[in-house]
Structure 1
C-alpha cells in the first residue's frame, strides 16, 4: 500500500508524456497536411515569423508565448526539438487541459505557428459528505482544495487515495471515496469552472475476531498475543483495549512479537508471512506464520578498542554474563537504549564523558553449539567540546534569561547529561512548550573534536488571567487576577515595551483580588529569579490586605459589623544549592501580619476589639528534579520541608502566662463582666503571636507504562507553641477537605485538598493544629500541545486533621477516590473538574459522605 503513491505518480507522468506524444503526433499530421498545400519541407530550418494563441484561456498571448520559450525571429526546425520542448513546458505547468500546435502557413523560409489550448477548470464550490463538519476543514487543508485551485486529474486521484488511506489507517478498512466534478456554465465569467463533490463512505470499523499464529512451539499463543500491544482480538474482557485493525500498528506488533523471541534466546525467529481474511464487513481474522529457530545463550563477551574504561567498568554497565539465555532486546538496550535518553547504557557512559563521536557495535564472532560469543567493538574517538552554543525561537524572552539556564557552555566538554538537564531547566521556566524543546547538534568536527549545539524553543503564553471559582468556607469564592510570568521591570517606563506589557526578563508580577460574602483579599507580589543576574538567587516580595467577616454557620450569613482586617508584607530569598546536588534550594523569608479586630469574638479568642501582630521567620529546603514539563511531569520528585518560627516573646517579657491561664480558666464566659476580663487576657496572650509551624510535602512521579504517569504524595503539618501556658495561637491553622480553593493567606490558614468531601469539612470550625495526608493519582495525557494540555486522572486520597497532638492518629483517615479532567491553557492556567467519592462520614455523622463534584479554576496541584 505504501508504494501506491509512487506508482500513481509514475502513471500520471507517463500519461503526461503520452499527451505530449499525441500532441506531437497531431503536430506532425498538421504539418503534413500543411505540406500538401505548400512548399513545407520536413526537417528544414525556418525563421519563426509569428505565433498566435487560440482556444479558451485567461492567460494573455504574450504570457503563453513567453512561457513556451518560442521566440519570434529565431531559427527553428519544423518539426523539431524547440517545438517539442515548448509543448512539454506548457504541459508541465499543469494549467491546461488541451494543447495543440499548428503550422498555419509557410512563406519561403518563414513559418507561422498557432498554439491552440484550453485552461484547466478552476474549483468553484466544494461539498464534502460522509464526515462530521469539524473534519471537513482539515480535509480541505490537507488536500489543498481551496476555491480557485486548478482541478487536475492528479488532484482528483491524490485526494481520493489520501482519504482512502487515511481512514484505513484508523481501522476503516472498507472505506470508499468518490470524487465527482460537474462543469459550471456561466456566460458572464469567461473561464472554465467546476463544482466538486467528495463523498466518503467509511463503513464500519473492522474488528479482529481471531489472531491465528502458526509455527510456534516454544512460546504459547497467549504470550505472543500479549506482546502484540496494539493488535487485540475482539473480547468482552478487553473493553479497555482496542481490537480494530490498523496496519501500521500491526507491523509494529510483528516486530514486538519477534522481540519476545529474542528476549527468550531465539535470535533467528522470523515472520514467514502475515495476512488478513475478511469474515464480513465488520470483522476479520489475522494470520501470522512464523519460524522460531533454535534457542541460544550468551558465551564469551570481550571488549575491543576501549582505553577510557576498563573491561570491568564496561561489564558493570553491560550486566550480561556468559551462560545466560541470549536476549537480543536487552543487549540492544544495554548498548544504547533509545527509549530513555538518560539510561544506564554503554553509549551514555561514553557520551557523558565527552565522547560524542564514539561508536559501540556488538559483533557475533562465534555461534557454535548455540553459544554466541560477542565482541563489543568500541571506537572511542576524540573527546568533543562545544564550539558554538545558541538558542533560536525566542521572540519575547531575552537571550540572557535562557543562556543563564544552559548547562552547556562554549569550550566545555560535551556531556549528554548536561544537554538533558538543560532541556529540563528550559522546560521548568514555563515560558516555552516543554514538549517542543529540541537540541540540534550540528557542524560536527571529528578531527578537532568540536560540535555546535542549538536549542530550538517554541514560546507559549506565559501571562495569565486568573479566573477562579469554587465553594468553600460556607459560600462561593471568586478570584480575579493578572499574572505576568515573564515580566521585565526595567522596561516599565519604556512606552515601546508595552506589547501589551513589558516582557522578557523572566520576572513574575501578580495582582490578585479574591472575594466571597465572608472575606475580601487584595494582594500584590513580585519575584526576581536571578537577583543581580549572576546567581540563581530568587527574591520574592508581597503585600496583601484582607477583610474577613464573622460567619454564622447556622444562618450562613456574614455580619460585616463584626470583622477583622489583616495587612501583611513579606520578603524572601531562595538560593540554589550545590550540595548535595543543585536540585536543592534553600529559602528564607521574613513576614509580618497585623490583625485588627472589631467586635470579632470566637471560641479561640475573645478580644473582639483589639489587635495581634505576627512577625515570623520561615526557612525551607526543597528539592525538585521533576522532568520536563511543569504542567505534566513524567518523572522525578518534588519535596519540601519548612519551619515557620516566631520570636519566643515569653522568654523575654515579664508576663506570667501561667497565672493568666489559671485566671482565665476560672472565669465564666456567660458573665458579661467576666467575659470582658477574658477578652483582656486574650488580648495580652495574642498581642504578639508566638508559635512554630513545621510542614513536609513530597510528590513522586513515575512512568509505569506508555504515557501513564503515577503521582504519589504525602503531606504533614504541625502547629505548636513554645509556651503551653500561652497556648496554640488561633491563626496559621489547617483546614482539610474539598478542592483546595480559597487558600490565599486569610489568617495564615492553609486549605488542604481532600476530594470527595465538602470544602474544609474535615476540620473543626477554627481549624486543626496537625494534619497528614496521602494520595495516589494516575494520569494519562489526551494532548500535550502548545495551545492546550489535557489529561485525565483517577485518584485515591486519605487524610485528616486534629485539634491537638494528643488526638493525633496517623491511621485515622478520611478516605476518598474518584476521577477527573485537567485542561491547561496558557492564558487561563489550569481548569478542571473532579468527581470524588468520600468513603467515610463527616465529623459527627454516621453515613459515608458519598459523591462530591469539585470545579478547579486557575489552580494546579
Structure 2
C-alpha cells in the first residue's frame, strides 16, 4: 500500500508553510513487527494516534520514482530535490521537509506529493508525484489601445512561456488597478481568465485573457477647504495647478482626478501659505468623497499657523562675494513677510537653469562645489532670523570635455559650438549656453540634449563633462503647398542641412549623401499654373573653420506668365523671366552681446519682359537690372528647441538699397515725369513713348527698403507659450520723380506661401483672409502686422513634434504714407495645429475667422478661411 508523506499543495501560500513542516501526514504499516505507526506533525491533526516529531524512524532510502504531469525528467527532479538513494533519512524529518521546500520554491510546480511505496527491512522507497505549473501560451488583452498592450506585457512579464502562478495573476491585477487609479480611473476593473490548452504536447499550457475596464475618469465636483481664514478657498483652489473642480468654461485644464497630480497640488497649497508668511501651515487631513452622481469631492482640512516676518539675514562663510552683493541677489529685507518659496528661489531656482540666484552666481564663477544652506536661528515673536551658511570650496576647472551620440555629425562641428574648454574655469552659464547652441543647430533632438557631469573632484578642483546628443533627421524632402497667385502653388525640393561638400568626391561618404560638416545645400523647384522657379543654394556656417562667419550663396531662375482675365488662365506667350544670384556673409557679434549677428549680402537680378504689360509700367518688352546691397542686424536668444521655443526673443531689422543712380546718371527725371503725365496712354504713339520712358526709369532699379520683425516667447504654465509678434515694412524711392519701383513690394493676406519672391516681393501671412487679398493687385509699399499666438505642445518627440495654437492677428497694406494708419487693420482669430517631421519639415492647418471685409468686397466679413500650410517658417 502507498503511504502519503505530504498532502497536495493547492496554492503558493500553502506551499510557504512547508518551512514549519505543516500539513505532512504519514501513515506506515510495518509488517515485520506487525505494528501500525501513525506519524504526523505537531501542527496538523488527522484521525489516528498523535506522535511527537522526535519519534520519527530512521530509514535507508532504497529508491525514488517520479510520477505525475511533468515535462521534467525523473533524474532532474530527483537531483533537484536533494534526496539521494542510500542516504539515511528520518521519516518524518528535515530531509523530506527540505525536499518539498526546494521543489516548491522552484516555482515550477502546482502540486507536490511524496509517498512511501514500500518498506523492506530498514529501507524506505519513495514516490514523488507532482504537476508542472502551466506556461503562458497565448495572451489576449481587451479594453486598451494596441499601442498600450506592449507596455502591459513588458511591465507585468506576460511573455509566452512564463509560468502562470497565482502570484502572477494577483500582482498583475493589483498593478494595473493601481496604475489606472493613479491616472484618475478610480472605478477601473481588471479580470484574468485562463483556458487550458489541450494538444499533443505534454507541457501544461494555458491561454490567458486579460480584460481591462478602465471606466471613465472621475471628475471633481467640488474642492472644500476647512480651517482656512487667511487665504480664501478661491485662492487655494487657484494654487492647485492640476486639480480643478468642474467648470464648463475652462478649456486648458480638466477637472478629472489624478492622484499623483493631487498629491503635488497639496504641496502647492502649503507653498502658497509659505509665500504669504505662514511657514507652519500644514494639512491636517484630506479625504475623497464619492458622490451619487459618480463624481467626487475633495475635502482638505488646514491648520494655517501664525504669520511670520523676516528678521536679520546674515551671510556666513562667504569670501568671494561681499555681504552687500549677496543681499542684492537675495533681494529680501528685514521686516518683509516671510516667504519660504521665494527664499529658496533666490538661493537656488531649480525651475530656471539660468536664473539670477546665489547658487548660479557662485557656479558661474567656477565654484561648482559650493553649497548654500539657509538656516533659521531664531523665531522669537514670529520674527525669523536667518543665517545663509556658505561653503565655497575650491574653484573647479574642466578637465575632460567630450561629446557622445553624434553618429553622423563630425566632432569639430559640435566642438566649435561648445563654450566649455579643458582647463577653463567652470561656468554653469557656459554649460547652459552650450546646450542652447547645440539645440539651435537642428541636427540633434533638442529635448534629449544632456550635459553629463562626471568625476567631480572637490579636492583637486576638477570636473569632466560629456555632452550627450541624439541625432535627428537633418535632411528634408521639401513638399510645400498652398493657394496663391490665382492657383495652387507646389514646391518640391531637397534640403540637406548637415551637408559635407569636401566629401562629394568620396564614394564611401554617400550614406546616402556626404554628411557631417554642418553645411546646407538645397535644390528647389516651385511651380504653379502662372510661374516656375528653379533655385540652388549653399551655405557654410563657419567660413574658414575659425570664426562663426556664415557664407551663403544662391542661384535662381523663374518664369512668370501673364494672367489672361478673359479666360482666367495664364497666357504662355507673355512671360516675365527673372534670373538672380546672391552672395552673403553673416557674422556673430560680441557686443552688445553674442546673441547679435550682422548680415550683409549683395544680390543681382535680371528681369526680362516678353510682351508682359502690367499697370505699374507700360513697357512690356524690355529688361530691368536690380543690383542691391542688404544689411541686417538680428538678435536671437530663443530657447534650446528651434521648433518649439519656450523663452527668449527673436528680432531682426534689415535694410536693402540700391545705388542712387539718379544722382550721377544725369537724367532729368522731373522732365520725364512731366512728359509722362501729359501722355495719352490710349494713343498708340503716346503709349510707345511712355514705354520708352518706363524703360529709362527702370533700366537700373533705384530704391531702398527697410523692415523689422520681432517675436517674443513667454512660458506661462509649463510648456504653454505665449508668442506676441510685430512686423513692419516700407519700400521707398530716393527720387520721387523717378518713383517707387514695381518690384520688391508687399502682399498681405492668407497663408504666406504664395512667395515666388525672386522679384523681391514678400508674402505676409494674415490668416482668415484669402492669399494676397489685403494688398492692391501690384502690391503695397508699406505694411504692418501684429499678432498674438498661444501655443501648447501635444508631443515634442524627435520623430514628430506636434503643437496646437490659437491666434489673434491684424494687419494691413498701404500704397503710400498718406494712407498709412497703423490702427486701421484687418483683424482675424482662429485655431491651428503644427506638425514637424524631420524628413518633411513643418506641416499645419489653420482655421481663421475674419472680422473685417476684404477691400473691395463688402459683406465678406465674419467668415472662416482654411489654410493648409506645408513647409512654412516656424
Match of 1:299 in 2: 311
Structure 2: how far apart are the matches of 1:471 and 1:686? 30
Structure 1: how far apart are the matches of 2:623 and 2:166? 85
1:478 to 490, 506, 527: 490
Deviation of 1:81 (Å): 8.3
Structure 2: how far apart are the matches of 1:573 and 1:459? 28
- Is residue 22 of structure 1 aligned with residue 18 of structure 2? yes
Deviation of 1:308 (Å): 0.7
Structure 2: how far apart are the matches of 1:596 and 1:110? 115
2:254 to 242, 261, 273: 242
Residues 23, 99 of structure 1: 8 Å contact kept: no
1:122 to 135, 157, 161: 135
Residues 395, 425 of structure 2: 8 Å contact kept: yes
Structure 1: how far apart are the matches of 2:555 and 2:78? 77
Deviation of 1:807 (Å): 2.6
2:180 to 150, 159, 167: 167
Match of 2:329 in 1: 317
Cα deviation, 1:784-829, whole Å, max 9, x if unaligned, reads: 1122111111111111111223332222211111111111111111
Residues 747, 772 of structure 2: 8 Å contact kept: yes
- Is residue 454 of structure 1 aligned with residue 466 of structure 2? yes
Structure 2: how far apart are the matches of 1:528 and 1:730? 33
- Equivalence map 1:482-493=2 (5 Å): 482-493=494-505
Deviation of 1:89 (Å): 6.1
- Equivalence map 1:345-744=2 (5 Å): 345-553=357-565, 555-744=567-756
Any stretches of 5+ residues in structure 2 without a counterpart?
Answer: 1-9, 34-54
Cα deviation, 1:464-495, whole Å, max 9, x if unaligned, reads: 11111111111111111111111222222223
TM-score between the two structures when normalised by the length of structure 2 = 0.90
Structure 2: how far apart are the matches of 1:559 and 1:635? 49
Secondary structure, aligned partner of 1:532: helix
Deviation of 1:514 (Å): 0.8
* Shift in alpha-carbon separation, 1:662–1:207, aligned structure 2, 3 A: same
Residues 11, 166 of structure 2: 8 Å contact kept: no
* Shift in alpha-carbon separation, 1:589–1:224, aligned structure 2, 3 A: same
Match of 2:295 in 1: 283
Task: Tell me whether 108-117 or 149-158 shows the greater mean CA deviation.
Answer: 108-117
Structure 2: how far apart are the matches of 1:627 and 1:111? 81
Structure 2: how far apart are the matches of 1:151 and 1:713? 61
Secondary structure, aligned partner of 1:483: strand
- Is residue 855 of structure 1 aligned with residue 851 of structure 2? no
Cα deviation, 1:118-139, whole Å, max 9, x if unaligned, reads: 4332323333333455544443
* Shift in alpha-carbon separation, 1:87–1:414, aligned structure 2, 3 A: farther
Secondary structure, aligned partner of 1:772: strand
Deviation of 1:547 (Å): 0.9
Deviation of 1:55 (Å): 4.0
Structure 2: how far apart are the matches of 1:743 and 1:118? 77
Task: Tell me whether 400-409 or 197-206 shows the greater mean CA deviation.
Answer: 197-206
Deviation of 1:85 (Å): 7.2
Structure 2: how far apart are the matches of 1:726 and 1:765? 21
Task: Tell me whether 753-762 or 176-185 shows the greater mean CA deviation.
Answer: 176-185
Structure 2: how far apart are the matches of 1:37 and 1:524? 107
Deviation of 1:245 (Å): 2.1
Match of 2:7 in 1: none
Cα deviation, 1:722-750, whole Å, max 9, x if unaligned, reads: 22232221111111110100324232211
Any stretches of 5+ residues in structure 1 without a counterpart?
Answer: 1-13
Deviation of 1:688 (Å): 1.9
Deviation of 1:584 (Å): 0.9
Structure 2: how far apart are the matches of 1:81 and 1:459? 62
- Equivalence map 1:141-220=2 (5 Å): 141-186=154-199, 188-220=200-232
* Shift in alpha-carbon separation, 1:469–1:239, aligned structure 2, 3 A: closer
Task: Tell me whether 454-463 or 748-757 shows the greater mean CA deviation.
Answer: 454-463
Structure 1: how far apart are the matches of 2:32 and 2:614? 119
- Equivalence map 1:828-847=2 (5 Å): 828-847=840-859
Task: Tell me whether 111-120 or 464-473 shows the greater mean CA deviation.
Answer: 111-120
Structure 2: how far apart are the matches of 1:146 and 1:438? 34
- Is residue 233 of structure 1 aligned with residue 233 of structure 2? no
Structure 2: how far apart are the matches of 1:673 and 1:490? 59
Deviation of 1:600 (Å): 0.6
Match of 1:334 in 2: 346
Task: Tell me whether 534-543 or 309-318 shows the greater mean CA deviation.
Answer: 534-543
Cα deviation, 1:657-715, whole Å, max 9, x if unaligned, reads: 33333332222221223222222222222222222211111111111233221111111
Match of 1:263 in 2: 275
* Shift in alpha-carbon separation, 1:87–1:743, aligned structure 2, 3 A: farther
Secondary structure, aligned partner of 2:666: coil
Match of 2:44 in 1: none
TM-score between the two structures when normalised by the length of structure 1 = 0.91
Task: Tell me whether 465-474 or 218-227 shows the greater mean CA deviation.
Answer: 218-227
Secondary structure, aligned partner of 1:806: coil
Task: Tell me whether 150-159 or 267-276 shows the greater mean CA deviation.
Answer: 150-159
- Equivalence map 1:802-841=2 (5 Å): 802-841=814-853
* Shift in alpha-carbon separation, 1:488–1:44, aligned structure 2, 3 A: farther
Cα deviation, 1:418-438, whole Å, max 9, x if unaligned, reads: 111111111111111111111
Structure 2: how far apart are the matches of 1:91 and 1:489? 68
Kindly tell me the number of residue pairs found equivalent between the two proteins: 844
Structure 2: how far apart are the matches of 1:69 and 1:404? 66
* Shift in alpha-carbon separation, 1:92–1:500, aligned structure 2, 3 A: farther
Structure 1: how far apart are the matches of 2:97 and 2:507? 64
Residues 577, 585 of structure 1: 8 Å contact kept: yes
Deviation of 1:552 (Å): 3.2
Structure 2: how far apart are the matches of 1:330 and 1:479? 53
Task: Tell me whether 715-724 or 197-206 shows the greater mean CA deviation.
Answer: 197-206
Structure 1: how far apart are the matches of 2:411 and 2:87? 62
Task: Tell me whether 498-507 or 414-423 shows the greater mean CA deviation.
Answer: 498-507
- Superposed CA RMSD: 3.1
Task: Tell me whether 651-660 or 470-479 shows the greater mean CA deviation.
Answer: 651-660
Structure 2: how far apart are the matches of 1:718 and 1:558? 30
- Is residue 756 of structure 1 aligned with residue 768 of structure 2? yes
Deviation of 1:606 (Å): 2.5
* Shift in alpha-carbon separation, 1:317–1:63, aligned structure 2, 3 A: farther
Cα deviation, 1:160-215, whole Å, max 9, x if unaligned, reads: 122212221222212121111111212x2332221222222333432223322222
Residues 578, 605 of structure 2: 8 Å contact kept: yes
Secondary structure, aligned partner of 2:716: coil
Deviation of 1:99 (Å): 4.9
Cα deviation, 1:253-282, whole Å, max 9, x if unaligned, reads: 111111121122111111111111222361
Secondary structure, aligned partner of 2:543: coil
